Structure 1
Amino acid sequence: MRISEKLQSHRSKSTKPTFSFEYFVPKTTQGVQNLYDRMDRMYQSTLPQFIDITWNAGGGVLSQLTTDLVETSQSVLGLETCMHLTCTNMPVSQIDDALESARLSGCQNILALRGDPPVNQDSWKPVEGGFQYAKDLVKYIRDRYGDYFDIGVAGYPEGHPETVGNDDTLLDHLKEKVDAGANFIITQMFYDGDLFIKWCQRVRAKGIDVPLIPGIMPITTYAAFLRRANWCDVHIPQEYFDKLDPIRDDDQLVREVGTDLVISLCRKLLDSGYVSHLHIYTMNLEKAPQMILDRMELLPKHDEPLDNHLAILPWRKSLNPQRRNEEVRPIFWQRRPYSYVARTSQWSVDEFPNGRFGDSSSPAFGDLDLCGASLIRQSGKRSLELWSTPSSMQDIAQLVINYLSGGLQYLPWSDTPLNHEVDDILPELVSLNQKLIVTVNSQPQLNGVKSSHPVHGWGPRDGYVYQKMYLEFLLPKEKLPKLHDYLVNDVMLTYFAVDHDGNLTTNHHDGTKANAVTWGVFPGREVLQPTIVEKVSFLAWKEEFYHICEEWKLNFINNNCDQSVKLLQHLIDDYVLVNIVDNDFISPENRIFNLLSSI
């Protein structure tokens, strides 16, 4: 959705100020993974109107990474995203590639900038075949894509180094950018609210009527505060020095006092009438922006309705237009949304399940290489730091227990931290792992829980949600015959079990049909069944799971961890991957755990 339309829609419903976050491109693969996790957490806890991602000055690999980040945030995380795009070292061909990548991912928002000179270059010069000014880039985007993109441009409330003493010329340039097709203005950081308000008055007097969005820079440490202010050449009011200089060596106190100063600035801007939205430069940090929003009482409350794409399903819906029909997902990728989206990225818009999921509507899943170079989304070094060098199944089970209890945020097969949904069955999960039945994925039973429930709720208001108990786990092969004997004629406990070689055992009489394990009933709507268990997708997940184990083993080989190598090979050779669904979602009896405890 276009930013200007989104902000206008909010203002028609509420007077509450809105906000957004800016992130920059990390320089390492692990940094990218950490940023995805941070973006996701911050979005869930704060619900910004949008996020934006900077463009790396100078082009090159990190510029390509910008488009990758935008695609992932739109397609996997379901976040409304704005992509920075600069003219620096960017011929038209590369600009075309970036714009088309953004369009295909569903991104409808571009912040069009001239950009800073590349490193080691004193002055800014256009690249051959590129653009001289941001207004040229704006006009090019508008001419090529019409109204598809919302285009933002930069504003400089305290002037620009290249137009010192000539603020009228700078405003003329801003007007030219808006006249060329810009829809909103995001400003450079500043700390002097009075100067900003005077600038707003001059902007409006110039006939510029698009939204003015102030760029807000949190204060985290004294050194960073001075460095960023000096780098942007912004005026620092004396009050800031008076309050921060005496405590400059106490980072925690600087952040507390600095947050109060920034909040005072934000309130002045909002009270001015020129501003209704704050754009926070996060510097890829989490705590400082959240402190500002919390103290300003801008964080969402439990009873506030969420945006439709957040509320309608228990998993956040992708904003990629190719996936607009997707309303059903297999539960196996519940903790691995990145690989699921990658493996289904080649499906056509008509192939995504819309209310049903079965062989007739489920094409073959993509190859594993669609998920990238590695299926474990942690670097080799980080993997060792997180999971050490297990030498027994007890060690692996303990890793899972640590994950269940919140001591670990990730496992090799779980890319996302666990939420509180597991609390209802936590003792049973811990007990199974202590018995060396290593759990992989689970969900508790629900019978008519209100859709507004803070943990289990999803979907439109005034509805009810339901879940069948589901458990996925690793079981020693020698115990599989006993499990099958227990379940072969059971119609309520249905299961699939598969080993590394693809040998499938099941008690499903018709394993080709999907089994809905989550559904919701809402006023005036068909029943939604967004999460299912199904054979084709389980076999695809099995390939991925054992491939993850192979990659984990390879990391141990590379680090000469012989005992861990033997252990992972033992897991691959001698364990089966099993899922069980308890189709009786009403009975209080915990049949799955009772059964496994007896095996």
Structure 2
Amino acid sequence: MKFSDKIARQSPFFTFEFFPPRTDQGFDNLAARISRLATLHPLGVSITWGAGGSTKERSLELATLTQDQCGLDTILHLTCTNAQLGSIDAILKDAKERGIQNILALRGDPPRGQEEWIPSDPRFTHAIDLVRHIRKSYGDYFCIGVAAYPDGHPDHLIDEGRELDCLKAKVDAGADFIVTQLFYDVEAFFLWLKKVRQKNINVPIIPGIMPIQTYASFQRLTKLTGAKVPDRIQEELNPISHDDRLVKDFGVNLAVDMIQRLVTGGEVSGVHFCTLNLEKSVQRILEDLQWTHAPNRSPNRLISDAPLPPVSSSAEPDRVVTPITAARDATQTLTSMPTTNNEPGRIDFDNVATWDDFPNGRFGDFKSPAFGANDLWGNSGSISHEMLREWRNPKTVAELTQLFLDHLDGKISTTPFSPTPLYPESLIILPELRRLTERGWWTVGSQPAVDGVSSSDEIFGWGPKAGYVFQKGFVEFFCEEKDVAMLEKRVQDHGNGLVHFFAGNYKGEFSTNVPEDCRNAITWGVFPGQEIIQTTIIEQESFLSWKEDAYSIWSDWASCYHPESEERKLLEEVRDRRWLININHHDYRNPQALWDFIFSDGDGLVDGPK
């Protein structure tokens, strides 16, 4: 059914947004998660489209599942990035054959390196081009939505007046409804809405609501989207930023307050939840709003009423280019721990609802539906002109080494792999990180060992109060192939079973000493009245998935420069030749165990010629 027709019949209403998980296990578990959320009777669900169509097959598969097996009217995202006429027509034809009648038409993020970008098809450079083509090709069959930005377009070169003109043009071209980017300032939204209506834009506008899940993800996403945060919200968050449970509770209460104000303002009939494939917060919000009962709606047909479609276990995870939220020094951790499941891949569905209570960066549980969570529209943030200037256009390996050192020293605020300055815990191991980087081993992730620190600790704490948190030391860096060979031999000769590593390169070569049936939980917490919570896990599946992203970052960075430039040649050579390696030491009680292993005297491994 057309989404615009359903909006006219139901008030208040809500919709959910999901993205295709990277892994087969995550996909299966998202199906179960959606079945639970379907009992709340959303008016519809939307399925994101990875940057450049990188999740095409999984997006269509997930949309079919929600449309056919869940009985939920589905809105399929579609972007212009890397799109051509033939591919767009094929997707629209496929969507129609699957019974999908709703499309969210988006420009999507252009490939990084906007100076050199030439659209794959000049007929599709903006969302309005998609809207026009869909209307021309399919008439009124599809209900079309478009995006809007109450806090301003992420491309700061587009001012509000121009953005409103573009929004008006998209509606005049045939858009039926508008979904907004996330925001947190309700009063500013109403002022923006008034300006929209003054432009004679009269289609339904659905506010995008993203409940705050963790303080770190809140900071990242507001920076990425340009969302303005009222001082009151920031002031209330700062004192509890280290307590993930309190942050999550605050996020629920804030969302409830925002939605109540929105729907009582007279203009808003419903909201769009950006779930990031998480369920508990949105469920709590809807319960607090008393929106969980839908007496006038017929029950949705749930996944449990029919078998799930088979998912090929041999399929490789789709690469989704996402913001690397944890590609930073001092972020995550590892334990070698055999799986407790009776069968590989078998999941205890009684427990999956509690997954992701404390999402912790890129290394979560690869079986989780939220593993590698991406941003609102399923796209990645672009490398800006300001970033390129800060990174000083490196032309030599020595200049790259200096760039990573400058980030460690706080002289620059970001690298392509670390979107923020160093975190406080990184400073504890800063001498070791500098020593590695000076050697030419460019660190992109690390974590000091921690043995039972209070969960309220300002640096290491997370989760409920009166608990204790633990970390195993690890470090991750790019190095040359000969270095990988030396490290492998060192692990074999001197690791004593306490050191595990994963190593891979752009060509797809891979090496590890971690047994296939082991999972490496590297951050965990012990809290009163709860089971042990493992927030960070590194195993083969998660490492390989992150590795794909890591090498795509080199490609994206290289694409910012002319094909014949020294910068591009250097970055592509680094991408093609260097290996990504992750080393973890399981002696978490000794904070120097990892570094003593790496820096031990006698082999010249680290402190040799630079």
Instruction: Tell me which interval the TM-score lies in, with the shorter structure as reference length.
Output: 0.5 to 0.7
Deviations 1:52-97 (A, max 9, x none): 010111223x122111111222122222110000000111111111
Q: Which residue of 1 aligns with 2:177?
A: 184
Q: Which residue of 2 aligns with 1:14?
A: none
Q: Which residue of 2 aligns with 1:27?
A: 22
Q: Which residue of 1 aligns with 2:307?
A: 337
Q: How far apart, CA to CA, are the structure 1 residues paired with 2:516 and 2:230? A: 54
Indicate conservation of the 8 Å contact 1:92/1:129, yes or no: no
Q: Which residue of 2 aligns with 1:387?
A: 342
Tell me the amino acid that sits aligned with residue 3 of structure 1.
Answer: F
Deviation, structure 1 residue 185: 0.2
Indicate conservation of the 8 Å contact 2:38/2:70, yes or no: no
Higher relative contact order (CA 8 A, sep 6+): 2
Q: Which runs of 5+ in 1 are unaligned?
A: 12-16, 318-333, 340-370, 390-398, 410-557, 561-599
Q: Which runs of 5+ in 2 are unaligned?
A: 318-336, 354-514, 518-610
Question: Superposed, which structure 2 residues align to 1:1-16 within 5 Å?
Answer: 1-11=1-11
Residue 306 (structure 1) aligned to one of 288, 297, 302 = 297
Residue 316 to residue 28, structure 1, CA distance change in 2 (3 Å) = closer
Matched, 1:254 2:247: yes
Deviations 1:521-576 (A, max 9, x none): xxxxxxxxxxxxxxxxxxxxxxxxxxxxxxxxxxxxx989xxxxxxxxxxxxxxxx
Q: Which residue of 2 aligns with 1:373?
A: 312
Q: How far apart, CA to CA, are the structure 2 residues paired with 1:263 and 1:123? A: 44
Question: Secondary structure at the residue paired with 2:312?
Answer: coil
Question: Secondary structure at the residue paired with 2:179?
Answer: strand
Q: Which residue of 2 aligns with 1:351?
A: none
Residue 253 to residue 373, structure 1, CA distance change in 2 (3 Å) = closer
Matched, 1:53 2:23: no
Indicate conservation of the 8 Å contact 2:146/2:175, yes or no: yes
Indicate conservation of the 8 Å contact 1:219/1:258, yes or no: yes
Question: Secondary structure at the residue paired with 2:308?
Answer: helix
Question: Secondary structure at the residue paired with 1:387?
Answer: coil
Question: Superposed, which structure 2 residues align to 1:403-422 within 5 Å?
Answer: none
Deviation, structure 1 residue 373: 3.4
Q: How far apart, CA to CA, are the structure 2 residues paired with 1:197 and 1:300? A: 28
Length, aligned pairs only? 339
Question: Secondary structure at the residue paired with 1:41?
Answer: helix
Indicate conservation of the 8 Å contact 2:85/2:121, yes or no: no
Residue 261 to residue 124, structure 1, CA distance change in 2 (3 Å) = farther
Residue 119 to residue 36, structure 1, CA distance change in 2 (3 Å) = farther
Q: How far apart, CA to CA, are the structure 2 residues paired with 1:105 and 1:261? A: 37
TM-score (norm 2): 0.51
Q: How far apart, CA to CA, are the structure 1 residues paired with 2:121 and 2:351? A: 53
Question: Secondary structure at the residue paired with 2:51?
Answer: coil
Deviations 1:246-305 (A, max 9, x none): 01100001111222122211122112111111001001101111121111111116xx24
Q: Which residue of 2 aligns with 1:280?
A: 273
Tell me the amino acid that sits aligned with residue 337 of structure 1.
Answer: P
Q: How far apart, CA to CA, are the structure 2 residues paired with 1:387 and 1:57? A: 37
Tell me the amino acid that sits aligned with residue 312 of structure 2.
Answer: A
Tell me the amino acid that sits aligned with residue 208 of structure 1.
Answer: I
Q: How far apart, CA to CA, are the structure 2 residues paired with 1:316 and 1:383? A: 33
Matched, 1:236 2:229: yes
Deviation, structure 1 residue 183: 0.2
Between 279-288 and 94-103, report the one with greater CA deviation. Answer: 94-103
Q: How far apart, CA to CA, are the structure 2 residues paired with 1:209 and 1:31? A: 39
Q: How far apart, CA to CA, are the structure 1 residues paired with 2:342 and 2:210? A: 36
Indicate conservation of the 8 Å contact 2:69/2:306, yes or no: no
Q: How far apart, CA to CA, are the structure 2 residues paired with 1:96 and 1:184? A: 22
Q: Which residue of 1 aligns with 2:167?
A: 174
Indicate conservation of the 8 Å contact 1:90/1:130, yes or no: no
Tell me the amino acid that sits aligned with residue 43 of structure 1.
Answer: A
Q: How far apart, CA to CA, are the structure 2 residues paired with 1:73 and 1:210? A: 25
Residue 196 (structure 1) aligned to one of 177, 184, 189 = 189
Residue 43 to residue 372, structure 1, CA distance change in 2 (3 Å) = closer
Residue 158 to residue 76, structure 1, CA distance change in 2 (3 Å) = same
Q: How far apart, CA to CA, are the structure 1 residues paired with 2:109 and 2:116? A: 9
Question: Secondary structure at the residue paired with 2:222?
Answer: helix
Question: Superposed, which structure 2 residues align to 1:472-487 within 5 Å?
Answer: none
Matched, 1:109 2:102: yes
Matched, 1:134 2:127: yes
RMSD: 3.3
Residue 119 to residue 40, structure 1, CA distance change in 2 (3 Å) = farther
TM-score (norm 1): 0.52
Matched, 1:37 2:32: yes
Indicate conservation of the 8 Å contact 1:55/1:86, yes or no: yes
Q: How far apart, CA to CA, are the structure 1 residues paired with 2:244 and 2:281? A: 12
Q: How far apart, CA to CA, are the structure 2 residues paired with 1:123 and 1:115? A: 17
Indicate conservation of the 8 Å contact 1:73/1:81, yes or no: yes
Deviations 1:103-137 (A, max 9, x none): 11111100000111235666865213650111111
Tell me the amino acid that sits aligned with residue 223 of structure 1.
Answer: A
Question: Superposed, which structure 2 residues align to 1:443-592 within 5 Å?
Answer: none
Deviation, structure 1 residue 387: 2.2
Deviations 1:437-476 (A, max 9, x none): xxxxxxxxxxxxxxxxxxxxxxxxxxxxxxxxxxxxxxxx
Deviations 1:148-201 (A, max 9, x none): 110000011121143547211111100000000000000000101111101110
Q: Which residue of 2 aligns with 1:291?
A: 284
Deviations 1:301-357 (A, max 9, x none): 6xx24326x3xxxx559xxxxxxxxxxxxxxxx765224xxxxxxxxxxxxxxxxxx
Tell me the amino acid that sits aligned with residue 292 of structure 1.
Answer: I
Tell me the amino acid that sits aligned with residue 198 of structure 1.
Answer: L
Q: Which residue of 1 aligns with 2:85?
A: 92
Q: How far apart, CA to CA, are the structure 2 residues paired with 1:230 and 1:254? A: 18
Q: How far apart, CA to CA, are the structure 2 residues paired with 1:173 and 1:165? A: 10
Question: Secondary structure at the residue paired with 2:271?
Answer: strand
Residue 149 to residue 250, structure 1, CA distance change in 2 (3 Å) = same
Residue 122 to residue 191, structure 1, CA distance change in 2 (3 Å) = farther
Q: How far apart, CA to CA, are the structure 1 residues paired with 2:302 and 2:153? A: 40
Q: How far apart, CA to CA, are the structure 2 residues paired with 1:22 and 1:165? A: 26
Structure with the higher helix share, 1 or 2: 1
Percent identity between the two aligned chains:
41
Residue 143 to residue 255, structure 1, CA distance change in 2 (3 Å) = same
Residue 290 to residue 129, structure 1, CA distance change in 2 (3 Å) = same
Q: How far apart, CA to CA, are the structure 2 residues paired with 1:245 and 1:166? A: 31
Indicate conservation of the 8 Å contact 2:210/2:275, yes or no: yes
Deviations 1:491-535 (A, max 9, x none): xxxxxxxxxxxxxxxxxxxxxxxxxxxxxxxxxxxxxxxxxxxxx
Indicate conservation of the 8 Å contact 1:84/1:112, yes or no: yes
Q: How far apart, CA to CA, are the structure 2 residues paired with 1:374 and 1:194? A: 49
Deviation, structure 1 residue 386: 3.0
Residue 282 to residue 316, structure 1, CA distance change in 2 (3 Å) = closer
Residue 242 to residue 183, structure 1, CA distance change in 2 (3 Å) = same
Deviation, structure 1 residue 102: 1.1
